[in-house]
Amino acid sequence: MNQQIDDLRNQAVASLKTIASSDELNSWRVRYLGKKSSLMAVLKGLGELPAEERRAVGGQANQLKKELEALLKEKEEALAAVSNLSTGGTDVDITLPGRPANLGKLHPMTLVLHELGEIFASMGFEIVEGPEVEWDYYNFEALNIPKEHPARDSMQTFWVDAPPGENGWEMLLRTHTSPMQIRVMEKQKPPLRIVVPGRVFRYEATDATHIPMFHQIEGLAIDKGITMADLKGTLYEFSRRFFGTDRRVRFRCDFFPFVEPGVEMAVECGVCKGEGCRLCGQSGWIEILGAGMVHPRVLEAGGIDPDVYSGFAFGMGVERIPLLRYGIDDIRLFYSSDLRFLRQF
Amino acid sequence: MKVPVSWLKEFIKVPFEVGDLAHRLTMAGTEVASISEIGSDWDGVCVGLVLAVDSHPNADRLRLVTVDSGSGTAEVVCGAPNVAPGQKICYARIGACLVDGHTGEPAVLKPARIRGVVSSGMVCSEKELGLSDEHEGILVLPESAPVGTPLRDYLGETVLDLEVTPNRPDMLSVTGVAREAGALMGKPARVVDPEFAGTGKAIESELAIDIEAPDLCPRYTASLIKGITISDSPEWLKRRLVNAGMRPINNVVDVTNYVMLEYGQPLHAFDFDKLSGARIIVRRAREGQVFVTLDGAERKLTGEMLMICDSKGEIAIAGVMGGANSEVVPDTTSILLESASFNPASIHYTSSKLGLSSAASQRFERGQSPFLTLPALNRATQLILEVAGGEAAQGVIDMAPGLNPRQPVLVSTARINSLLGTNYPEEEIIDALVLLGCSVKSCPASRELAVTPPEWRSDINLGADVVEEIARIKGYGDIPMTMLAKSIPHQSPSPMLSFKHRLREAMVGLGFQEILNWSMTNTGALSKALNQPELSVRPLYLKKPMTLDQECLRTSLRPGLFSALASNRRFEDSEIQLFELGTVYLPAGAGLPEEPQMVGGIIGSPQVKRHWSEETRPFDFYDLKGKVEALLAYLGVNPSFEPSEDSGLKPGSQAVVVVKHVPVGVIGEVDQQAGRAFEIDEPVYYFEIDITRLLPLTVGDRQYQPIPRYPAVVRDIALVMDNTVKHRQVEEIIAGFPLVVETRLFDIYTGKPVPAGKKSMAYRLTFQSRKKTLTDDAVDRVLEQILARLSSGLGAVLRR
């Protein structure tokens, strides 16, 4: 029996030396330390031996078991060390993915509106918000767009199915953020500087470049002695901060009923640098916003004397900016809630 | 508005570069959308003379045409029926580039043998030149066309396409554009007042005009021409109309269109012999009456529409479209020519009500100048005499009940400069205005300028209008750039803005992706999402929705968030967490709706194992509750969760979120039926909070709490109690004792050895004093009292 245990020891030690993988090591463990191993058989058979022999054999067999277990542990560590070496010698595989800790992301419109708001806030404009369902008085009449004015045709309107208000006003979804010009003037006396971000609505069929709901940001500054030079300077400074100092800016005459003189601001096309390309329709310029000196009739509608005060206003469509900035070819994506799109921002 | 440059040049007598002019027009407010060159691709095409036309030996329908091309003669096979000797035609030699008559594609003309005869070139139709789709016959040029001249030089044209803003009806005319261009180039255009020779009877003896609605018709002028011959217009007239985007019809109609394009004044020709009573009456229509316009359509009129009538009845919808009953037809011999001014709002009303927009109505609704009616009438009468013959009655009728002389606009140089931020001297300002055709008087006493705008400009009425004119002429680029100099106005920023900002950032930090949905939705979607067959809050409906799925304004964020989760689930097998912060619209009596700001969030569990190192567990109620608690803690409030009965959430798996006794939202598992209606077939959890309601509850005097100076003592206890006992009952009892600063539930256990119907709840209590270090004895005394209360109050016993 003594001999048998020694043989078992020699055999196990010899075969252990040839082992190079954890799979092999596992087979070795089963063979020499498993339930069906010879060693286990010896240990199980102890009960049948005479008492004296039992003690001696038992001691040797248990001794061997401890030795083999120690060898097994040693070999395991050796194999693990080899495995670590092959992965660069560190203790963990740093290339394995970490445990997920997900952050969501803000919608690209939220990001752009925030960025725009911050720029104007830093120039002393207060950010205010207003109702999205409006009276036609604020959306049109008070802004010098009377009934049957052709300028209304360019702002196709969603009318709300509700009885007229007490003044006979009709309810609609605001077609621009400009109604807040009047609401702010009614509440607050000059000097005032505000910007109004928000949703606006146009009765338009949906396609890759048109959606019935989008965002605008409106600006208004009223004080004594505000000039068109101030308008240009403010909007130029905005463009420098938002689009960068290397983009030229162009101001041309345009018509909006609630301003006079009317202004359109364009920045140099970022793709062709003014040379003309497909993006800018070969003009070299991207139209960014409409602006102008507040029309005297609008000041009057807001209860402000146009002979004493003057001001400027501007308004821009916001979706256009990320469209241009990221080369997005379908405006509907903003409202698709598609994570494959939204996770890119 | 399409403006052929050759037409402009009739009024601008100085040379100019088209690109430069386009730039100036654009910068001054009328954008030139495109410049197209007609004939730029006509290579190898010239004016030819047909010397002889012989029959083709092998084909009845073909002819052999001998053409003098200026540099020799050529024999061409031609299939056109209208070719005749002596005609000036467009001859294309071999190698010319033309539009293939069959394919419509550009093609190079190759030598060809047609039915055995070699054709050296081609006599072109309009289609082959790309001028129109006309390919039945060849294009015959006027006799004056010089043989051998390249066709590009003879027929080529440059056309400006202008985007005219609604304030500038004058820019819907060639003379108006010429005047604008002249002013912008510093060399005023020359437009001569036209005249005609009336040799017939005096017009007053032939015709009477009554304006019964002077409020809608400030001016009505008319002339009368008898003995005309209706025919095709001469080639030059047709060519101009086509280049300006209009279709030639007959000489009389073409002249009215031509003069409309030239002066911006719409004209209408009535067949004079069809009028009853030699009388024109301008009055409102009779409500509900039906009238047949010259396009053959029946139009239902309202009492607010302005009509032109004879003594029997209506003959035209004023300013919009003529009637079939007075239309000029091929055998018409006498015409009454109308040149009138109508109230712009009235024309806009009629045209939009009838869905009938015409070149005329577009000019009237922009307020074309009533001073143009007479020059346009004279010009049209003269042209009709020229192209249709006949004899005009002497004089014109000019009824002008609403024509007021132009009032000067008073504005000071100082005012102009103070609005622009410039220092223009008075002379420069006057020069600019004079260039535009204004007459300017300086009034030294009042230091004001009296600016009388030119007759063709109806849009200069206020000081601000004059200011814009100066800026346009000087160029917007000439105005300096300054920053707002005065101090920043007082601000009272709304706390809602920063609150929403913080809330969005917290949501993102909690793993939610922000989405934005349409404000418009539909009854069905709301009803399904809220699980309400009859909506408890009736939404605001749109009068004319674009599509039926956007028929009303949302009263809940749920439909949008549910749809978004379902649509993303098609490709996303990891967890989905979405939120939206936006407005819902709740009707509020007769006023504007309430527009509370809501935040809604939805979570759906990961569908696959998320990480190699650990098992993935589906979300449950407590995942979402934890997020909502974290959100509200971040916003500085401590909510409680009370039982709720939200029809869209699963019964027994939902709660009202209450802050300072105010319910601000709900949280729970989405009811299976509601979820399935949106094709969600997994358990999802939803919350929404009315942040308009929440905001005031978060504003409080927050005070710094000193960091405790004495150590805390902790005690862990496990309590066995009935399953029905709620955690909060335990919490409230413990909280009633002094020294306990925190109670944390860290384990719940049911099963052996805990008896059936009971559960074991394990709590860690933290004791701390602000005054001293607590002894074990002191803590144990309190703990004993707590245990006694829990036992007597809830039957909870300490598990040993």
Work out whether strand B279-284 and strand B208-211 pair parallel, antiparallel, or are unpaired.
Answer: parallel
- pLDDT tens readout for residues A306-345: 999 999 999 999 999 999 888 898 999 999 999 999 999 9
Q: Is B426 at the interface with chain A, CB within 8 A?
A: no
Longest CA–CA separation in chain A, Å: 125
What are the start-end ranges of the H helices in B337-401? 344-354, 359-365, 373-388
* Phi and psi, residue A135, nearest 5°: -90, 145
**Alpha carbon distance A223, B418 (integer Å):** 12
Residues of chain A with C-beta less than 8 angstroms from the C-beta of B496: 129
Concatenating the DSSP letter of every residue in B128-164 gives TTTS-S--SSPPEEPTTPPTT-BHHHHH-EEEEEEE-
Q: Per the CB < 8 Å rule, is B484 touching A124?
A: yes
Instruction: Indicate the helix (H) or strand (E) that contains B499.
Output: helix B495-509
For residue A333, what is the nearest residue in chain B, using CA coordinates?
B516
Minimal C-alpha gap between A317 and chain B (Å)? 17
- Whether A253 sits inside 8 A of B477 (CB atoms) is no
User: Å from A71 to nearest chain B CA?
Assistant: 29
Q: Does residue A85 carry a pLDDT above 60?
A: no
Judge: A126–B489 Cβ closer than 8 Å, yes or no.
Answer: yes
Cβ neighbors of B311 (< 8 A, separation 6 or more) are B276, B277, B279, B281
Is residue A86 over pLDDT 60? no
> Can you give B45-72 as a three-state secondary structure string?
EEEEEEEEEEEECCEEEEEEEEEECCCC
Nearest CA in chain B to A226: B419
User: How far is residue B46 CA from its own chain's centroid?
Assistant: 45
How far is the C-alpha of B682 from the C-alpha of A78, rounded, in Å? 48
Mutate which: A260, A286, A305, vs B, most B CBs within 10 A: A260
CB nearest A203 (choices: B26, B488, B546): B546
- Assess: ipTM above 0.85: yes
Residue B616 pLDDT: 85
CB proximity B563 to A under 8 Å:
yes
CA atoms within 13 A on the CB side of B515: 31
Q: Which residues of A touch B366 (CB under 8 A)?
A: 150
What pLDDT shows up at residue A87? 53
Q: Which residues of A touch B479 (CB under 8 A)?
A: 228-229, 232, 251
Cβ–Cβ contact B203 with A under 8 A: no
From A157's Cα to the closest Cα of chain B, the distance in A is 9
pLDDT given at position A89: 55
Four-point Cα dihedral A123, A124, A129, A130, nearest 10? -110
Is residue A90 over pLDDT 70?
Answer: no
Closest Cβ opposite residue A227 in set B26, B418, B564: B418
User: Which residue of A131, A193, A252 is in closest CB contact with B592?
Assistant: A131
Report the C-alpha gap between A312 and B437 in whole angstroms: 28
Output the pTM of the full model: 0.85
Nearest CB among B488, B507, B510 relative to A124 is that of B488
Tokens of B763: 């709590």
| C-alpha distances out from residue B745 to B15, B240, B246, B673, B726, Å | 92, 89, 84, 34, 12
Block mean pLDDT (10 aa), chain B, length 800: 95 94 96 90 89 86 89 87 89 84 77 84 85 80 88 90 95 97 94 92 94 96 96 92 93 96 96 93 95 94 95 94 94 96 95 93 94 96 96 95 90 95 95 96 90 94 96 96 90 91 96 97 96 94 94 97 96 95 94 96 91 87 96 94 95 96 97 95 96 90 86 94 94 93 94 92 95 93 95 90
Disruptive mutation site among A127, A255, A341 for chain B (greatest number of B CBs within 10 Å): A255
Share of chain A above pLDDT 90, in %: 59
3-class SS of residue A143: helix
Mean pLDDT of chain A, nearest integer: 90
pLDDT, position B165: 94
Q: Quick check: B590 and A166 CB within 8 A? A: yes
What is the number of CB-based contacts under 8 A between chain A and chain B? 257
Contacts of A233 in chain B (CB under 8 A): 480-484
Asked if the peptide bond before residue B663 counts as cis, ω within 30 degrees of 0, the response is no
Q: Looking at the complex, does the CB of residue B36 fall below 8 Å from at least one CB of chain A?
A: no
- The SS3 assignment for B792 reads helix
CB contact B608 to A (< 8 Å): no
- Chain A interface includes B535 (CB < 8 A): no
pLDDT at B299: 95
**φ/ψ of residue B758, rounded to 5:** -125, 165
Any CB–CB contact under 8 A between B536 and chain A?
no
> Nearest CA of chain B to the CA of A34: how many Å?
28
pLDDT tens digits for A122-176?
999 999 999 999 999 999 999 999 998 888 887 899 999 999 988 899 999 999 9
Cβ pair B483:A226 closer than 8 A: no
Task: Give the residue from chain A lying closest to B414, CA to CA.
Answer: A225
More confident residue, A26 or B31: B31
* Residues of chain B found within 8 Å of residue A146, distances taken between Cβ atoms: 345
CB atoms within 10 A of CB B800: 5
| Contact with chain A for residue B527, Cβ under 8 A | no
SS3 B632: helix
A261 preceded by a cis bond (ω within 30 of 0): yes
pLDDT of residue B646: 95
Residue-level length of chain B: 800
CA distance linking residue A43 with residue B157, whole number of Å: 112
Determine if residue B608 is left, alpha or beta; phi over 0 gives left, psi from -120 to 50 gives alpha, anything else beta: beta
pLDDT at A80 over 80: no
